[in-house]
A and B are shown apart, each in its own frame.
Chain A
């Protein structure tokens, strides 16, 4: 596609439920990043994919968070047993190579845990 697509755009879930957030990067972009942004805060790095492997998972806040990428394309971020502090906008970005200026961000998924 022309841009990075994320779905759903909004998700409301009950505390304790699992959620899956999807990211469709720009075709051919090998690098993919997940960030989250809590209300009024800056962006927090979560995980980086190069192809299907994740050489940097240092930003995942707990073992309830996991992510995978298949076919060097679509990525899914899964949050298990959601907590209220997980409420945030989750942003995905892709890049042709792992360069900081080549990022294209999606519009994000707004997750609300009630």
Chain B
């Protein structure tokens, strides 16, 4: 699976949009981009995933560049409860026989401040 690079930490003001970048320059055509977050002392929580099109759900938006070498997770109106470690993960589709396991990096610690 392709490796991802994320900044170790970011700050965001409450109520503002949080934009979390991720580089995955070695991504291949059948690899998806997934985002999870881990709030202190809890298990990771799925946020969103995508292949090449931009995606939006009730939690966030995912913007993937045209060359797919980077992406940005957007939390449109960050709240204090969004303070967490955010993981960007690249993995293969299970149609290729993959086990579906996710390989977590160090993630980005997002601190939302009042």
Residues of A within 8 A of B (CB): 4, 31, 33, 35, 41-45, 48, 50, 55-56, 91, 93, 95, 97-108
Given the complex of chains A and B, what is the CA–CA distance between A101 and B50 in angstroms? 10
Please judge, given known A-B contacts A99-B94, A101-B46, whether A42 and B104 are in contact too, CB under 8 Å.
yes
* Cβ distance B34 to chain A, nearest Cβ, rounded Å: 5
Q: Is the CB of A105 within 8 A of B43?
A: yes
Give the A-B contact count at a CB cut-off of 8 A.
66
Q: Is the CB of A101 within 8 A of B34?
A: yes
Given the complex of chains A and B, what is the CA–CA distance between A48 and B100 in angstroms? 9
Q: Is the CB of B105 within 8 A of A42?
A: yes
Q: Is the CB of A100 within 8 A of B43?
A: no
- A103 surroundings in chain B (CB, below 8 A): 36, 44, 46, 102
- B105 surroundings in chain A (CB, below 8 A): 42
For chain B, what secondary structure do more than half of its interface residues adopt (helix, strand, loop), or is it mixed?
Answer: loop
9 CB-based A-B contacts, threshold 8 Å: A42-B104, A45-B103, A50-B99, A56-B101, A93-B44, A100-B102, A103-B46, A104-B46, A107-B42
Q: Is the CB of B107 within 8 A of A98?
A: no
- A101 surroundings in chain B (CB, below 8 A): 34, 46, 49
Q: Is the CB of B49 within 8 A of A100?
A: yes
- A104 surroundings in chain B (CB, below 8 A): 46
Q: Does B45 contact A (CB under 8 A)?
A: yes
Minimal Cβ-Cβ distance residue in A for B107? A42
Q: Is the CB of B43 within 8 A of A93?
A: yes
Minimal Cβ-Cβ distance residue in A for B36? A103
